[in-house]
Amino acid sequence: MERWHERDTLISTSPQMASWSPDTPCSCDCFVSVPPASAIPAVIFAKNSDRPREEVQEVVFVPAGTHVPGSRLQCTYIEVEQVSKTHAVILSRPSWLWGAEMGANEHGVCIGNEAVWTKEPVGTGEALLGMDLLRLALERGSSAQEALHVITGLLERYGQGGSCREDPMPFCYHNTFLLADRTEAWVLETAGRLWAAQRIQEGARNISNQLSIGTDISAEHPELRPHARAQGWWGGQGAFDFAQTFSLTQQPVRMEAAKARFRAGQELLQQRQGGITAEAMMGILRSKESGICMDSGGFRTTASMVSVLPQDPTQPCVHFLTATPDPSRSVFKPFIFGVGVAQVPQVLSPTFGAQDPVRSLPRFQTQVDRRHALYRGHQVALGLMESEQDRGQQLWQKQRDLEQEGLEAVRGLLAREWAPPPQELGGLFQAFVEKESRVYA
C-alpha cells in the first residue's frame, strides 16, 4: 500500500536488480510549455516516439469503463489488479504491446515516457513496462499529479522490467516520464523502484533519455537518499543532486548523444519562450538538424503527438497525432474527446490472438505484419517523396495543406468562432484520417 508524507514521499522496499547493454540504441524527446511560455492560456505537450525502424505504431481509443471489484488486468507481460473505474484514453502505441509511448485521457492529462539507464541495474525479469505504467496512469489519473501517484504506487508494488522491443534479444530500460494537465506539468524520473519528481508550474521543459532532475526535487521516494548514501554515491551532507548522484559515471554513446538533443531541445524552447504554440511544437518535433526528428541506423521517429490543454475548463483539449513515422513527412491530425468518439479502423493494426509472437513462449521467435491501412498508404507516399521529386513535392504539400486545415479548425474552435455539434467534434480525427488516406490513394 502507498503512504504519502509531507514531501509526497512513498514508503518503499528494496530496488530491483538486473543488467543492460550499453550499446543498445534508443532515443525519445518530450516537451511541455506552461504559461507564460505558451502563446495562449494553455499547457502545450509534445513528444516524438523514437523506436526500432520497422516497428508500427497504432492509435487506439479506449472508452471509459467500469470493472468488477477484484478483477485482474492483463498488461504486456503481467497481470495487475484492476480498479473499479477507468477513464477514456487515446493512445499512440507500438502495436505489439498493451501500454503506450504517449497518450491522453478525457480529463486532459497527457503523458510521454523515455528510456533511461542509471546506476541502478535494469531488471531482466518481466514486470510492468514503462509504457504499461503510462497507460495505467492515464486510465486511472484525473490530473498530472494523480497520474504520477498511480505510476509510483504501481512501480512500488510490481516493479518495472521486461523487453521493450519485439525481438528475441532483450532490450530493457528504466523510465522517465513527462506528465501534463491543464494547469501544470511534472517530470518523474525512476531508477528501479526509486524515483524523484519535479513540478513545473510555469515555463518550458524537456526530457531526453537522461536524468535531468538536479536539486530541485518536489517529491521523492523516501529511500532515495538513504539508498544513495548506503551505495556510496552521496555523502549525506549538502545538496542532493538526483541526476548527478544516480547517472552512470561512464555514459553509453547513445546517452551522450541524448545530451546534445536535450540541449538542442532546451534552446529551441528558449527561442520560442512566450510564443509557443502547437505549430511551434510541431516544428521542434520536425527538427532533423538537432536529431530530435530521429533517423539513425536502426531507429527513427515512429510516431508523434502534440496536445493543447486550455486552462479554461470549458474549452476542449485537442490532441494532434500522426500515427505514421517521420513527422517531417507526416500529418498531425486533431483528436477531441466527445460524443460519438470511436476507434478509427485505418490506424488500428491487425491482431493475431494466441499466435502473436508476444504471446507465444519463448517470445518473439517469429515476425508478423502489423502495418495498419494508413501506415501502408504513408509508406507508398514516402517512397514517392524519395524517388519522384515532383510527385513527392506535391504529396508533401497536400500533407501540409491538410494539417493547416486541422490547425485552422482548432484555432476557430478555441477562439469560439466555430461551434460544431458534439458529434462532429467526436468524429474529427476519423475525418482527417480519411482525408489523409485519400491523399495517398
Task: Please give the positions annotated as active site.
Answer: 28
Choose among 200, 150, 195, 155: nearest CA to 176: 195
Count the Cβ atoms, other than its own, within 10 Å of residue 360.
13
CB 153 within 8 A of CB 2: yes
DSSP 129: -
Cell of 307: 496536445
Estimate the crossing angle of helix 130-140 against helix 144-158, to 10 degrees: 130
Cell of 393: 513535392
Distance CA(215)–CA(225), nearest Å, equals 12
Cell of 277: 504554440
CB 102 within 8 A of CB 47: yes
CB 365 within 8 A of CB 168: yes
Choose among 389, 395, 400, 391: nearest CA to 377: 395
Distance CA(340)–CA(96), nearest Å, equals 27
Alpha-carbon separation of residue 3 from 16, 93, 240 (angstroms):
20, 31, 23
Choose among 280, 346, 251: nearest CA to 31: 280
